[in-house]
């Protein structure tokens, strides 16, 4: 055993992390770097030695040879070297899971070998990848694991522990690492500082699994008033109160009907908000004068630690200016709100990507006030029929979130029946559900590679935001299949396609 080194390293998965995962890549001609990978690696190597650790089970399965894999790695190494990126060593596990080898992630054999050979301090190192096993490899040696929503990331997210930080891209992960050289301590300090700020009447932005929230002590009307001020949100739009434990619900609502208890039991923590008659302890400013309150318990571990540390329920809308696209990273929050209003906890990206489902249980018959991260199908399986907006009472919005405005980029967005007619316009951005056959003249954002609605939701706001930054005349989008999270995606697309000015109800 060698003495531990002093240098930190970053261990990177290859497929789905640095290059597109095309499955059993045996030919260097098939290498497709992610556009921001080189920049991210250049940033990281200012402080860290870079290693690639990749599992190539195609070798054991006979789809590709070890020589082919080595050739792809050699060529990728050359490509990166042309941009001054140096990978110190490449590790390849050629086995499949049934082989029960000791080199496949999350086994840490390669990390230990690298530490011995290159004098690394694994406790100051990071592991990044798009499969739950990648960051888990870090845990085994006291390194810090980060999960990417590129590659297969969105597909495996259900098996990812709640406390794992996720990122939209390698670029975002690199920026987070550079800002958090001592990740556990650094994040812990941000959470404690935010909790103190909320306790003393200030505002803190924090990640949830849906979008970033702008939080204040829900029981302090003056603190809550600041949220409306900073967001420029009209006072008639009530806020969601966030709790860290199921038991806190009873302290906020007048009673918990059986259907609510069943939903809480099955879906909390998670992206489901319940609207119930409120207790007097909840200030009127939180509920916009309504006798009801919306409550949710987020599953994001940073959010729950923060709310628990603050010791009070936390009122939080999405941390964007009123009517604008919701933030799914800390950088988005700063882009929208700037600085000077309070503190922010940077806990990476939001893994669901669209806001929570809002369900009213005020009447016996449950009503869907806003489709969101908890699929309607799952709710109906637990409590039976749910009334949809657009039903008998459609003329009278029961929730301001149902109004046809909200979530909009500043570039006009239009929903079109077919993207075809727009492909030749260089000044039109395309927000496509799945990969396009042709090659459009303008910029394209593809919500999912394989038709996965959960992946589409994760990418929606970040994709809208990127197109919004391109100075286009118009963004065109197509509706996605209307089930599961697709219902929430379509809802947000429709609302984004209605500019605030046109859709604001008169006299508000
Ligand atoms: O995922 C989410 O729910 C995020 C994160 C931060 O938790 N929060 C969020 O908050 O989206 P906000 O304020 O952007 O949306 C809250 C929605 C609005 O549509 C609001 O009208 C509805 O919840 N709501 C809140 N209280 C209500 C009440 N008492 N009755 C009916 N609707 C209510
Ligand atoms: Mg991968």
Q: Per residue in 6-35, pLDDT tens?
A: 899 999 999 999 999 999 999 999 999 999
**pLDDT given for residue 501 in this prediction:** 42
End-to-end CA distance of the chain: 70
Q: How confident is the model at residue 391 (pLDDT cuts 50, 70, 90)?
A: low
Spatial separation of the C-alpha atoms in residues 277 and 402, rounded to whole Å: 19
Testing ligand 1's pocket by substitution, the residue of 209, 236, 237, 240 carrying the most ligand atoms inside 8 A of its CB is 240
Q: CB under 6 Å to ligand 1: residues?
A: 208, 210-211, 213, 237-240, 271, 273, 275, 287, 290, 292-294, 316-318, 355-356, 358, 369-370, 398-401
Q: Per residue in 49-79, pLDDT tens?
A: 999 999 999 999 999 999 999 999 999 999 9
Q: How confident is the model at residue 409 (pLDDT cuts 50, 70, 90)?
A: confident
User: Residue 15 C-alpha to ligand 2 middle, in angstroms?
Assistant: 4
Q: Within 13 A of 260's CA, how many CA atoms are on the CB side?
A: 25
**pLDDT given for residue 506 in this prediction:** 30
Q: Compute how many other C-beta atoms are within 10 angstroms of the C-beta atom of residue 135.
A: 28
Determine what percent of the chain is predicted with pLDDT higher than 70.
94
Spatial separation of the C-alpha atoms in residues 336 and 380, rounded to whole Å: 36
Q: Tell whether the model's pLDDT for residue 389 goes beyond 90.
A: no
Beta strands 87-93; 126-129: pairing state? unpaired
Ligand nearest to the CA of 18: 2
User: Residue 198 C-alpha to ligand 2 middle, in angstroms?
Assistant: 39
Q: Tell whether the model's pLDDT for residue 223 goes beyond 60.
A: yes
**pLDDT given for residue 438 in this prediction:** 81
Residue 294 near residue 270, CB atoms below 8 Å: no
User: Nearest C-alpha to atom 32 of ligand 1 is from which residue?
Assistant: 399
From the CA of 402, give the closest atom in ligand 1: 19
Spatial separation of the C-alpha atoms in residues 36 and 56, rounded to whole Å: 24
Q: How confident is the model at residue 407 (pLDDT cuts 50, 70, 90)?
A: confident
Mean pLDDT of 390-417: 68
**pLDDT given for residue 6 in this prediction:** 82
Q: Tell whether the model's pLDDT for residue 427 goes beyond 50.
A: yes
Beta strands 272-277; 292-296: pairing state? antiparallel
Spatial separation of the C-alpha atoms in residues 328 and 354, rounded to whole Å: 9
Residue 293 φ/ψ region, left for φ over 0, alpha for ψ in the -120 to 50 degree band, beta for the rest: beta
Spatial separation of the C-alpha atoms in residues 191 and 330, rounded to whole Å: 13
User: Residue 14 C-alpha to ligand 2 middle, in angstroms?
Assistant: 6
Mean pLDDT of 324-334: 95
Q: Per residue in 105-126, pLDDT tens?
A: 999 999 999 999 999 999 999 9
Spatial separation of the C-alpha atoms in residues 498 and 379, rounded to whole Å: 28
Mean pLDDT of 361-382: 97
Q: What is the 3-state secondary structure (H, E, C) of 193-258?
A: HHHHHHHCCCCEEECCCCCCEEEEECCCHHHHHHHHHHHCCCCCCCCEEECCCHHHHHHCECCCCH
Mean pLDDT of 146-158: 95
Spatial separation of the C-alpha atoms in residues 422 and 84, rounded to whole Å: 39
Ligand nearest to the CA of 15: 2
Q: Tell whether the model's pLDDT for residue 483 goes beyond 80.
A: yes
**What is the number of H-type helices and E-type strands within the chain?**
16, 19
From the CA of 242, give the closest atom in ligand 1: 7
Testing ligand 1's pocket by substitution, the residue of 235, 269, 295, 358 carrying the most ligand atoms inside 8 A of its CB is 358
Q: Tell whether the model's pLDDT for residue 270 goes beyond 90.
A: yes
User: Nearest C-alpha to atom 3 of ligand 1 is from which residue?
Assistant: 356
Q: Per residue in 432-466, pLDDT tens?
A: 999 998 889 999 999 998 899 999 999 999 999 99
User: Nearest C-alpha to atom 15 of ligand 1 is from which residue?
Assistant: 317
> Average per-residue pLDDT in the chain?
93
Ligand nearest to the CA of 400: 1
pTM of the predicted model as reported, rounded to 2 decimal places: 0.92
Beta strands 204-206; 213-217: pairing state? antiparallel
Q: How confident is the model at residue 149 (pLDDT cuts 50, 70, 90)?
A: very high
Could you tell me which of 371, 343, 322 has the C-alpha nearest to residue 485?
371
For 423, the token pair is 């492909």
* Burial (CB count within 10 angstroms: exposed 0-12, middle 13-18, buried 19+), residue 316: buried
**pLDDT given for residue 399 in this prediction:** 60
């Amino acid at each position: 055993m060698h003495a531990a080194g002093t240098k930190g390293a970053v261990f990177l998965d290859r497929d789905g992390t640095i290059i597109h995962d095309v499955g059993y890549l045996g030919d260097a001609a098939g290498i497709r770097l992610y556009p921001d990978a080189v920049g991210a690696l250049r940033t990281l190597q200012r402080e860290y030695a870079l290693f690639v650790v990749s599992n190539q089970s195609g070798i054991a399965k006979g789809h590709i040879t070890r020589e082919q894999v080595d050739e792809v790695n050699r060529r990728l190494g050359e490509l990166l070297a042309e941009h001054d990126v140096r990978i110190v060593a490449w590790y390849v596990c050629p086995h499949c899971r049934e082989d029960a080898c000791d080199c496949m992630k999350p086994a840490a054999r390669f990390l230990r070998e690298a530490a011995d050979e290159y004098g690394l301090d694994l406790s100051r190192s990071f592991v990044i990848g798009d499969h739950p096993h990648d960051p888990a490899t870090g845990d085994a040696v006291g390194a810090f694991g980060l999960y990417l929503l590129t590659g297969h990331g969105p597909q495996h997210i259900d098996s990812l522990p709640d406390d794992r930080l996720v990122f939209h891209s390698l670029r975002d992960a690199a920026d987070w690492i550079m800002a958090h050289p001592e990740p556990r301590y650094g994040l812990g300090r941000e959470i404690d500082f935010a909790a103190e700020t909320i306790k003393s009447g200030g505002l803190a932005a924090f990640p949830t699994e849906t979008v970033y929230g702008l939080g204040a002590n829900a029981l302090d009307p003056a603190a809550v008033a600041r949220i409306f001020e900073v967001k420029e949100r009209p006072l008639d739009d009530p806020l969601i109160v966030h709790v860290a434990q199921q038991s806190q619900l009873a302290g906020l609502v007048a009673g918990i009907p059986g259907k609510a208890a069943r939903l809480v039991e099955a879906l909390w923590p998670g992206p489901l908000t319940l609207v119930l008659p409120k207790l007097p302890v909840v200030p009127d400013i939180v509920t916009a004068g309504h006798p009801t309150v919306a409550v949710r318990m987020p599953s994001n571990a940073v959010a729950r630690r923060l709310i628990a540390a603050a010791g009070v329920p936390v009122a939080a809308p999405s941390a964007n200016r009123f009517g604008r696209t919701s933030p799914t990273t800390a950088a988005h929050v700063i882009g929208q709100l700037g600085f000077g209003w309070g503190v922010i906890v940077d806990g990476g990206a939001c893994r669901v990507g669209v806001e929570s489902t809002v369900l009213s249980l005020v009447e016996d018959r449950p009503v869907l006030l806003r489709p969101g991260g908890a699929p309607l199908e799952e709710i109906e399986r637990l409590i039976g029929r749910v009334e949809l907006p657009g039903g008998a009472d459609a003329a009278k919005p029961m929730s301001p979130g149902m109004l046809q405005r909200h979530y909009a980029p500043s570039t006009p967005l239009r929903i079109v029946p077919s993207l075809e007619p727009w492909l030749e316009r260089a000044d039109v951005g395309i927000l496509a559900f799945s990969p396009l056959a042709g090659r459009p003249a303008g910029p394209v954002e593809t919500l999912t590679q394989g038709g996965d609605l959960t992946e589409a939701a994760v990418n929606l706001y970040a994709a809208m935001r990127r197109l919004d930054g391109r100075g286009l005349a118009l963004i065109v989008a197509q509706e996605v299949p209307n089930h599961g999270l697709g219902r929430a995606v379509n809802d947000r697309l429709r609302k984004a396609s209605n500019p605030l000015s046109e859709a604001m109800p008169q006299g508000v």
